A and B are shown apart, each in its own frame.
Chain A
Amino acid sequence: AQSVTQLGSHVSVSEGALVLLRCNYSSSVPPYLFWYVQYPNQGLQLLLKYTSAATLVKGINGFEAEFKKSETSFHLTKPSAHMSDAAEYFCAVSVYSGNTGKLIFGQGTTLQVKP
């Protein structure tokens, strides 16, 4: 069964520092992977998606993620954190069969950005 594990429920970085949010997946088929961000009192906003076209995926707001099949990982990075990046981040894998599907989410990682 497909699953997603996010390592670290809370990550704290200083403004301007590298952001690294970890995601490992389990999938018996080639996965479709997504990163979403959730700001307080809002829904989930799509940051980026991996659909097997390229292993390095660039998303919005300067984020990118690299798909590593050998490590079953899809970590999210940003070279320089900004205060506005403080939010909760979710990694998700698409579980599909025939003509139906759903997203399986990790438990989320709260990113704190210190001035």
Chain B
Amino acid sequence: KAGVTQTPRYLIKTRGQQVTLSCSPISGHRSVSWYQQTPGQGLQFLFEYFSETQRNKGNFPGRFSGRQFSNSRSEMNVSTLELGDSALYLCASSLEAGGGNQPQHFGDGTRLSIL
């Protein structure tokens, strides 16, 4: 069974641009969550999608948005990029929404660098 696939693996952008990251969950998984990983802040939750609906959102500005499609694939968009947005963005999928005892399975991430 294929794991969580994130594309692209690496991205270089400049301040003020926008970027879209893609995530394909494990087949049959309906929940997709996004996390930001930085050396200073560690791993921080961005949002969770289930059945094309955002179920939960972390403490990030509105420049960070996402969506989920009917096939459970998800995209994350960051507009008006800032230097501080440089990070590894990780996508995770699980069978059902709601956290709890459902383990989340992570992709290899997209490393975003802002110049």
* Interface CB pairs A-B, < 8 A, 25: A42-B109, A44-B106, A46-B103, A49-B101, A49-B103, A51-B101, A90-B43, A94-B99, A94-B100, A94-B101, A94-B102, A95-B99, A96-B99, A99-B55, A99-B97, A99-B98, A100-B55, A100-B56, A100-B99, A101-B56, A101-B98, A103-B33, A103-B35, A103-B92, A107-B42
- The reply to whether A32 and B109 form a contact with Cβ atoms under 8 Å apart is no
B105: A residues at CB distance < 8 A: 46
Closest-CB distance, A28 to chain B (whole angstroms): 15
Give min CB distance, A64 to chain B, whole Å. 16
How far does the alpha carbon of A95 sit from the alpha carbon of B106 in the complex, in Å?
17
**Residue B90 at the A interface, CB < 8 A?**
yes
A34 interface neighbour in B42, B90, B103, B107, Cβ under 8 Å: B103
A34-B103, A43-B4, A43-B90 given; A98·B108 CB < 8 A: no
Main SS of the interface on chain A? strand
Q: CB-CB < 8 A to B56: which residues of A?
A: 100-102
A interface residues with partner B (beta carbon < 8 Å) = 32, 34, 36, 41-46, 49, 51-52, 90, 92, 94-96, 98-108
In the bound complex, CA of A45 to CA of B99 (Å): 17
Known contacts A43-B4, A43-B107, A46-B105; is-contact A100 B42 (Cβ 8 Å): no
On chain B, the residues within 8 Å of A92 by CB distance are 43
A104 surroundings in chain B (CB, below 8 A) = 45
Nearest CB in chain A to that of B4: its residue: A43
